[in-house]
């Protein structure tokens, strides 16, 4: 199925804008501007309702253009495109919501780390306003501590912000 024009989704706004316009006749430049499309496509849309010519430019009565746009908006292609875009917007919204609530794990980790809380962090990890400290003996321990810290932050970002944010003067105010 060929791609549907994006202007299908803005037909209602275009009709409203054209209704409030103080003009009797509409040309292809005005229609192109309202729909944010190319001049050639505007000419194609306008062609069935053109009643006058000014040079090579076709002019159509505003009411006829409004009726034409309403017919296009009520057509099967426009309805399909509006529904398709609404479904896509819903899926994108769900994806964004899921990403915020369930961050993607880039490494495999045991449940004890993925469910990590800030209060349950090992003593080798300290959060202070404007400062994080991580002590470790080996590189693998460092990576484990960093992953624990990242998971704890992801599980409770508000608590982390309260603990780690310096006061408004940039001075530490609290420690855990």
- Residue-wise pLDDT for 19-58, tens only, equals 888 999 999 999 998 988 889 988 999 999 999 888 788 8
Residue 44, domain member (yes or no):
yes
Mean pLDDT to the nearest integer, 107-132: 83
H or E element at residue 111:
helix 111-114
Mean pLDDT to the nearest integer, 145-157: 88
Residue 102, domain member (yes or no):
no
- Are 147 and 85 within one domain? no
- Quote the CA–CA distance of 67 and 73 in Å, as a whole number: 10
- Are 12 and 64 within one domain? yes
Q: What is the pTM of this model?
A: 0.46
- Are 51 and 130 within one domain? no
pLDDT at 1: 44
pLDDT at 105: 58
CB 25 within 8 Å of CB 60: yes
Number of domains into which the chain is organized: 2
pLDDT digits (tens, 9 = 90+) for 53-96: 887 888 999 999 999 988 888 877 777 777 888 898 899 999 88
Lowest-pLDDT range of 89-93, 107-111, 150-154, 157-161: 107-111
- Are 17 and 93 within one domain? yes
pLDDT of residue 173 exceeding 80, the answer is no
Sheet holding 25-27, edge to edge: 25-27, 57-61, 52-54
CA quadruple 118, 120, 121, 122: dihedral, nearest 10: 160
Phi-psi domain of 153 (left: phi exceeds 0; alpha: psi -120 through 50; beta: other): alpha
- Are 70 and 149 within one domain? no
Range of 75's domain? 6-97
- Are 72 and 116 within one domain? no
- Are 152 and 85 within one domain? no
H or E element at residue 30:
helix 28-35
- Quote the CA–CA distance of 148 and 118 in Å, as a whole number: 9
pLDDT digits (tens, 9 = 90+) for 156-165: 888 898 888 8
Residue 88, domain member (yes or no):
yes
Residue 104, domain member (yes or no):
no
- Are 52 and 84 within one domain? yes
Which of 52, 76, 54 is closest to 62 using CA atoms?
52
């Amino acid at each position: 199925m060929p791609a549907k024009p994006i202007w299908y989704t803005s037909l209602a706004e275009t009709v409203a804008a054209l209704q409030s316009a103080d003009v009797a006749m509409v040309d292809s430049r005005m229609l192109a501007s309202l729909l944010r499309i190319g001049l050639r496509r505007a000419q194609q849309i306008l062609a069935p309702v053109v009643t006058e010519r000014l040079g090579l430019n076709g002019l159509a009565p505003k009411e006829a253009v409004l009726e034409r746009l309403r017919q296009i908006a009520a057509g099967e292609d426009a309805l399909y495109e509006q529904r398709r875009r609404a479904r896509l917007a819903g899926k994108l919204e769900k994806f964004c919501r899921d990403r915020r609530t369930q961050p993607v794990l880039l490494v495999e980790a045991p449940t004890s780390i993925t469910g990590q809380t800030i209060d349950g962090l090992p003593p080798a990890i300290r959060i202070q306003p404007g400062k994080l400290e991580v002590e470790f003996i080996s590189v693998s321990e460092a990576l484990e501590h960093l992953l624990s810290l990242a998971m704890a932050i992801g599980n409770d970002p508000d608590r982390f912000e309260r603990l780690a944010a310096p006061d408004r003067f940039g001075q530490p105010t609290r420690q855990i």
